[in-house]
């Protein structure tokens, strides 16, 4: 059995990743390629429970190290119970965010070193990386418009952090893509969903 491909979508808030994740899964199924669509934090009952702990706005929240550990714990359950079994069955896994989000948010935004985040990932999940990470990049004006529609005043605990935090996250993603051009494809996310989807298919060699 040929192992499936592991594809992650990454990007800042309001980049349109969730829509693109769904469109890619539909395109793969039309081509007869079975795939599993999932997200982080989440994807298994345990990891979804940790998602609620991380993103809920009640209480005092987490300091950056506890936050990084919780993301790593959610990811460990997700990798062990859902991602690896699906890949071993030959299915593709399309994941809305993966470890590069921890590197960008808890590292770039939160101040942990990249080595610390990757250590947690090695301990929790054996260091598994996507075969390809699609970094969807959107200009600040488009993000502001989309988030006003999506969240209004109801941003989650991390999405609601200040613009300096999110600028550091975006800069970190760009650094990772520059450092690992074979694992990252940069996708211009400013256009409509259909044109971004075409760019995604092209990056995967599917058109």
Which of 148, 102, 125, 141 is CA-nearest to residue 10? 102
Largest interatomic CA distance in the chain: 48
Instruction: Return the structure tokens found at 75.
Output: 């990811």
Query: Between 166 and 197, whose beta carbon lies closer to ligand TMP?
Result: 166
| Residue 133 contacts ligand TMP per CB under 6 A | no
The correct pick among 92, 105, 173, 176 for binding ligand TMP (CB under 6 A) is: 105
Phi-psi domain of 161 (left: phi exceeds 0; alpha: psi -120 through 50; beta: other): beta
- Residues 73-102 contacting ligand TMP, CB under 6 A: 97, 101-102
C-alpha 121 chain-centroid distance: 14
| Residue 10 contacts ligand TMP per CB under 6 A | no
- Residues 112-131 contacting ligand TMP, CB under 6 A: none
| Residue 41 contacts ligand TMP per CB under 6 A | yes
The correct pick among 25, 158, 177, 185 for binding ligand TMP (CB under 6 A) is: 158
Contact by Cβ (8 Å): 15, 138: yes
Query: Between 25 and 158, whose beta carbon lies closer to ligand TMP?
Result: 158
| Residue 71 contacts ligand TMP per CB under 6 A | yes
- The CA distance from 8 to 203, in Å, is 12
Query: Between 131 and 151, whose beta carbon lies closer to ligand TMP?
Result: 151
Element (H, E) at 92: strand 92-96
Query: Between 30 and 58, whose beta carbon lies closer to ligand TMP?
Result: 58
* Phi, psi (rounded to 5 degrees) for 135: -90, 110
- Per CB under 6 A, residues contacting ligand TMP are 13, 39-41, 55, 71, 97, 101-102, 105-106, 158-159
């Amino acid at each position: 059995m040929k192992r499936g491909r592991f594809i992650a979508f990454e990007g800042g808030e309001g980049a349109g990743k969730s829509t693109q994740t769904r469109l890619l899964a539909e395109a793969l199924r039309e081509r007869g390629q079975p795939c599993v669509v999932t997200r982080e934090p989440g994807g298994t009952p345990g990891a979804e429970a940790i998602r609620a702990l991380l993103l809920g706005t009640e209480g005092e929240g987490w300091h950056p190290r506890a936050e990084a550990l919780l993301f790593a714990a959610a990811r460990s359950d997700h990798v062990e119970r859902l991602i690896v079994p699906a890949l071993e069955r030959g299915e593709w896994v399309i994941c809305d965010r993966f470890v590069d989000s921890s590197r960008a948010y808890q590292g770039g935004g939160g101040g942990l070193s990249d080595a610390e985040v990757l250590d947690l990932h090695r301990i929790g999940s054996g260091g598994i990386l996507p075969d390809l990470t699609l970094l969807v990049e959107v200009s600040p004006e488009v993000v502001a418009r989309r988030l006003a529609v999506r969240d209004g005043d109801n941003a989650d605990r991390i999405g609601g952090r200040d613009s300096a935090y999110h600028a550091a996250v975006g800069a970190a993603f760009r650094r990772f893509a520059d450092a690992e051009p074979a694992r990252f494809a940069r996708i211009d996310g400013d256009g409509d969903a259909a044109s971004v989807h075409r760019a995604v298919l092209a990056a995967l060699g599917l058109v």
